[in-house]
Structure 1
Amino acid sequence: MSREPTAAQRRVIDAADPVTGRLRGTEAQLTALVRGGLAFRHPRPPHDHFLTPAGRRLREAPAGAPERPAPSTEVFAARVGGAEEEVPPSAAVRLREVRSAWQGLLELRRMTNPDGAVDRPCAWERGHLVRAAALALEAAGHHPKTAGADGYRVRATPQPEAVAVYAPDAAARSACAATLERAGWQAGEYTEPRTRVRYLLASPRRA
């Protein structure tokens, strides 16, 4: 969203069903939340609206917390890894945010996969490959690369529906591959022809 939710929109978010994240509000309120990445409209009748992981994060913010920066259009700002990424100021807060985002993503799978499956990625993940793969890794306890520590890096590739995952060594690559496979991805190890760097090529499983 380009700005924080209005007071009325925030009341809609706070009143969401605690389990499913189902929303009640005016069409204008719900449309604005969808546009801002805080809600999604279910594709099947009766086309109810539900919180996205970002919406769940906002709802779970402690009462009286300072206003957050306007959310981006990404459902969740997963850490993709890189020397430019900063370590979150509070590891405990970040852990809660990541767990909430992952649970919200599983709910998104349940609500948008045609058969309600939660063991394979949904359409949103296939449209946001780097962020989705990074969230799966971070939610499982892997640490991204930062200026002060080595870790995974997730990068886009020219191949359709595939991301490259770099890790410090063979054991880390194997652990990342296992995590992604449990999260519904397919992952195989490859070598870059020019640099000889080993990496994982991962893509969301469809069935």
Structure 2
Amino acid sequence: MGEIGANGVFEAATGDGPPTAGDAARTAEVQAAYAGLIQIRRLTGTAPAPWERGRMVWAVALALEAGGVPPSAVAGDGARVAAGYRVVADAERPDAVRVEWAGPPGGAAPREAEGRLREGARVLAEAGWEALLYRGAGGRRFLEVEPAG
């Protein structure tokens, strides 16, 4: 999920879609989408806005990408081809999402995970989210993210 979708609508890069363009056009699209989100917050007087809370995977992914954190990506065959964040719904908590640092097999992603996730937590805190770093099964680090406050 990245780029402009087939229906012409912006899609946040969750880390489980094709590689994003990473060019000036993509940066402009991300910044425009994030500016729209900020406008929704102004209108509702809340951060994150109720609209974001209903689309947490998308909203957290957008905040990360707008904050300069790169998304992971997968090829058409499902093989992970880029290291970066991966945002998924939290199966145990519907009011939270998980952010992992994922990359191609044999790459540096596991070694980079803690530092990159801390960077992501900082970006998310600035965007109105609470992100706590945990160590999961097999020692893998992840963020649990929920609306701040």
Q: TM > 0.5 between the two? A: yes
The residue type equivalent to 2:57 in the other structure is V
Q: Aligned pair in 2 of structure 1 residues 197, 159: CA closer, same or farther (>3 Å)?
A: same
The answer to whether the 8 Å contact 2:98/2:144 transfers is: yes
Q: CA deviation at 1:70?
A: 2.1
Structure 1: where are the runs of 5+ without partners? 1-57, 59-67
Partner of 2:60: 133
1:201 equivalent in alignment to 2:144: yes
**TM-score, normalization by structure 2:** 0.78
The residue type equivalent to 1:197 in the other structure is R
- SS state at 2:24 partner: helix
The residue type equivalent to 2:118 in the other structure is S
1:183 equivalent in alignment to 2:110: no
The residue type equivalent to 1:178 in the other structure is R
Question: Which has the greater radius of gyration?
Answer: 1
Partner of 1:153: 86
Q: CA deviation at 1:148?
A: 2.8
Structure 2: where are the runs of 5+ without partners? 74-79, 102-108
Structure with the larger RCO, 1 or 2 (CA within 8 Å, 6+ apart): 2
1:142 equivalent in alignment to 2:69: yes
Q: CA deviation at 1:131?
A: 0.4
The percent of aligned pairs where both chains have the same amino acid is 38
Provide runs of 4+ in structure 1 moved above 3 Å. none
- SS state at 1:93 partner: helix
Of 70, 74, 84, the match for 2:7: 70
User: Could you tell me how far apart the structure 2 residues matched to 1:89 and 1:104 are?
Assistant: 21
Of 112, 118, 122, the match for 2:49: 122
Q: CA deviation at 1:149?
A: 1.9
The residue type equivalent to 1:98 in the other structure is V
Q: Aligned pair in 2 of structure 1 residues 90, 164: CA closer, same or farther (>3 Å)?
A: closer
Q: Aligned pair in 2 of structure 1 residues 88, 197: CA closer, same or farther (>3 Å)?
A: closer
> More strand per residue: 1 or 2?
2
CA shift digits 1:24-83 (9 cap, x unpaired):
xxxxxxxxxxxxxxxxxxxxxxxxxxxxxxxxxx9xxxxxxxxx83256xxx4100003x
Partner of 1:174: 118
Q: CA deviation at 1:104?
A: 0.5
User: Could you tell me how far apart the structure 2 residues matched to 1:179 and 1:93 are?
Assistant: 22
User: Could you tell me how far apart the structure 2 residues matched to 1:151 and 1:90 are?
Assistant: 13
User: Could you tell me how far apart the structure 2 residues matched to 1:182 and 1:89 are?
Assistant: 25
Partner of 2:24: 92
1:106 equivalent in alignment to 2:33: no
Q: CA deviation at 1:90?
A: 6.1
- Bigger mean CA deviation after superposition, 126-135 or 90-99: 90-99
